[in-house]
Amino acid sequence: MTERIEGHGGELALAALRAYGVREMFTLSGGHVFPLYDAAHKTGFPLYDVRHEQSAVFAAEAVAKLQRRPGLAVLTAGPGVTNGISGLTSAYFNASPVLVMGGRAPQFRWGSGSLQEMDHLPLVAPVTKHAETVFSADDIPRAVAAALTTALTPHRGPVFLDFPLEAIFSTGDADLPAGPALDPVEADPDEVAKAAGLIAGAQRPVVIAGSDVYAGDAVAALRAAAEALDVPVFTNGMGRGALPPEHPLAFAKARRVALKGADVVVVVGTPLDFRLSFGDFGDATVVHIVDAPSQRATHVQPAVAPAGDLRAILTTLAGYTGDRADHTDWVAQLRTAEDAAKARDAEEMAAETDPIRPARVYGELRKVLARDAITIGDGGDFVSYAGRYLEPAQPGTWLDPGPYGCLGTGMGYAMGARVTHPDRQICVLMGDGAAGFSLMDVESLVRQKLPVVMVVGNNGIWGLEKHPMRAMYGYDVAADLQPELRYDQVVTALGGAGETVAKAADLGPALQRAFDAGVPYLVNVITDPADAYPRSSNLA
């Protein structure tokens, strides 16, 4: 029998949110959303507050990405919502099931000029799967349930609801929603069979697996399919770590060799975008496996593009019983390239240079990071190096901003990661430029006892912009920051701790102190401003 719920708008919303597995809210205060706080306060529902709304939405996104359940940010009307738009857009690009709940000026006097009276919907509609104003308290549980069902349905993504003041403050009653009931979308079996035949028959196949494989809980199925068909696997985004680095089919560095030599490229759970040369793999046959028909590329024509539940598709591939070519030599060829690239990387990660080069930072970090540590990248070149030198050992341990490439995710993602994994190492890798977007939220982390480690690659420049601008124009502007600025003192002033490191030999002990500190701790590493990430030759 359906349970009836009653209360004010905030209480009705929270009951529905709980039914959908939401376990905390991230917010920055505003009167328009007080009833949601009241509901949380009265029922012991965890509430984390921040110093800039972008951090609330990024925190909600980190929860959504890591835990594969909805993340919630509550933002006050007007500027609260507009400050959250970059976060919403990132979630949209990343297919993260984030719900942003906004306050809204009262409806009964709409047009009279209430404080922060604006219609948010036209602003958020292009970057959400669903955006709706809920005009009565009674209607809130239904709206929450509908929005979260949409957010959780592949292809996943953010949703937005706002509540006019009188709707959220008044009382009402409704049926308690039952919680998520999603029907998996079944791919066309003929297309899956065609994909299986192409992969099995290929002489030199390659799989590239991305975030939707993790989001769709299809990591084990990916591994089974790769093993059954003996196909080397590369990963990006949340797909990283899907196969542990020591797995014989796990590759990271031999991508260039692989894509140059492949006769079939299978891209699973990630778009054919700029990260994958827009799906142009020369003469190779392309198989694109996506979690919803909407994700099929329109700018290129893969040979086949099965669309549906990724776990089901990959499980079918794993069970393929037809003829298959032998890939032993191909896998061995890639392993040789991979090992050679790894040996080069190992040298760079151990290099004793003055000033320190980013590679050494990661060499030292790898010695102190646990296998289940969460690493978060927020920056330019310094984060490109992180992607190259860090090898996530488990899925769901690497958070990058994704294809929207928004700087400023750092402290929000860190908060969401810490809330998700209270006992793990959380390590944010930040450029000094990126640090400026969110470092004030260290205050939120300190105050709410959410310790994380920050490692800043402090080159004194917006490196990823300065070097290209110089290369293009012979000069650069708007690309310098204060050299050797003491970002560690900023963190200390906010109640955390930290230190500056300028010598490679001091890195290891500093990182150890950071992870032992038990408070937000920033290791400010002075790095070589002349060092530019080698974009054209970053992969073997």
Ligand X SMILES: Cc1ncc(C[n+]2csc(CCOP(=O)(O)OP(=O)(O)O)c2C)c(N)n1
Chain positions contacting ligand X, by CB under 6 A? 379-382, 405-408, 431-434, 457, 459, 461-465
CA distance 358 to 378: 14
Please, which residue, 241 or 463, has the CB nearer to Mg ion?
Answer: 463
Q: List the structure tokens of 354.
A: 């003055």
Please, which residue, 54 or 444, has the CB nearer to ligand X?
Answer: 54
Can you list the positions of beta strands (E) in 54-158?
Answer: 71-75, 98-104, 130-133
Please report how close the Cβ of residue 383 comes to ligand X at its closest, in angstroms: 7
Please report how close the Cβ of residue 532 comes to ligand X at its closest, in angstroms: 9
Q: Tell me, rounded to whole angstroms, the distance of Cα 262 from its chain centroid.
A: 29
- Identify which of 355, 406, 367, 417 has the alpha carbon closest to the alpha carbon of residue 383: 406
* Beta bridge partner(s), residue 172: 7
Q: List the structure tokens of 41.
A: 């306060």
- Identify which of 311, 282, 279 has the alpha carbon closest to the alpha carbon of residue 295: 279
Residue nearest to ligand X (CB): 431
Residue 381 binds which entry of ligand X, Mg ion, none, CB below 5-8 Å type-dependent: ligand X
Please report how close the Cβ of residue 434 comes to Mg ion at its closest, in angstroms: 8
Pairing of strands 171-175, 4-8: antiparallel
Exposure string for 219-243, b = 16+ CB within 10 A, e = fewer: bebbbbbbebbbbbbbbbbbbbbbb
Residue 434 binds which entry of Mg ion, ligand X, none, CB below 5-8 Å type-dependent: ligand X
Q: Tell me, rounded to whole angstroms, the distance of Cα 152 from its chain centroid.
A: 16
Do 57 and 88 form a contact (C-beta atoms < 8 A)?
yes
Please, which residue, 249 or 464, has the CB nearer to ligand X?
Answer: 464
Can you list the positions of beta strands (E) in 134-262?
Answer: 159-164, 171-175, 205-209, 233-235
Please, which residue, 61 or 309, has the CB nearer to ligand X?
Answer: 61
Please report how close the Cβ of residue 431 comes to ligand X at its closest, in angstroms: 2
Residue 102 binds which entry of Mg ion, ligand X, none, CB below 5-8 Å type-dependent: none
Please report how close the Cβ of residue 537 comes to ligand X at its closest, in angstroms: 17
Please, which residue, 239 or 457, has the CB nearer to Mg ion?
Answer: 457
Please, which residue, 406 or 417, has the CB nearer to ligand X?
Answer: 406
CA distance 493 to 447: 13
Please report how close the Cβ of residue 458 comes to Mg ion at its closest, in angstroms: 7
CA distance 308 to 310: 6
Please, which residue, 291 or 531, has the CB nearer to Mg ion?
Answer: 531
Residue 524 in contact with Mg ion, rule: CB under 5 A: no
Residue 431 in contact with Mg ion, rule: CB under 5 A: yes
Handedness of CA 15, 21, 24, 29 (dihedral sign): negative
| Counts for the chain of helices (H) and strands (E), in that order | 22, 18
Please report how close the Cβ of residue 86 comes to ligand X at its closest, in angstroms: 7
Residue nearest to Mg ion (CB): 431
Please, which residue, 1 or 472, has the CB nearer to ligand X?
Answer: 472
Residue 465 binds which entry of ligand X, Mg ion, none, CB below 5-8 Å type-dependent: ligand X
Please, which residue, 364 or 381, has the CB nearer to ligand X?
Answer: 381
Please report how close the Cβ of residue 27 comes to ligand X at its closest, in angstroms: 22
Please, which residue, 177 or 463, has the CB nearer to Mg ion?
Answer: 463
Please, which residue, 71 or 431, has the CB nearer to ligand X?
Answer: 431
Residue 408 in contact with Mg ion, rule: CB under 5 A: no
Please report how close the Cβ of residue 477 comes to Mg ion at its closest, in angstroms: 16
- Identify which of 158, 81, 84, 48 has the alpha carbon closest to the alpha carbon of residue 406: 84
Binding residue for Mg ion, selected from 97, 237, 463, 520, defined by CB under 5 A: 463
Provide CB contacts within 8 A for 202, sequence distance 6+: 262, 263, 264, 285, 325, 327
Provide CB contacts within 8 A for 27, sequence distance 6+: 33, 36, 37, 47, 48, 49, 50, 56, 73, 74, 75
Please report how close the Cβ of residue 357 comes to ligand X at its closest, in angstroms: 12
Angle at 377 between CA 375 and CA 381, to 5 degrees: 135
* Beta bridge partner(s), residue 8: 171
CA distance 136 to 161: 12
Please report how close the Cβ of residue 435 comes to ligand X at its closest, in angstroms: 7
Q: Tell me, rounded to whole angstroms, the distance of Cα 347 from its chain centroid.
A: 30
From 67-75, 405-413, 428-436, 487-495, span contacting Mg ion (CB under 5 A): 428-436
Binding residue for Mg ion, selected from 24, 132, 432, 488, defined by CB under 5 A: 432
Residues that bind Mg ion (CB under 5 A): 431-433, 459, 463
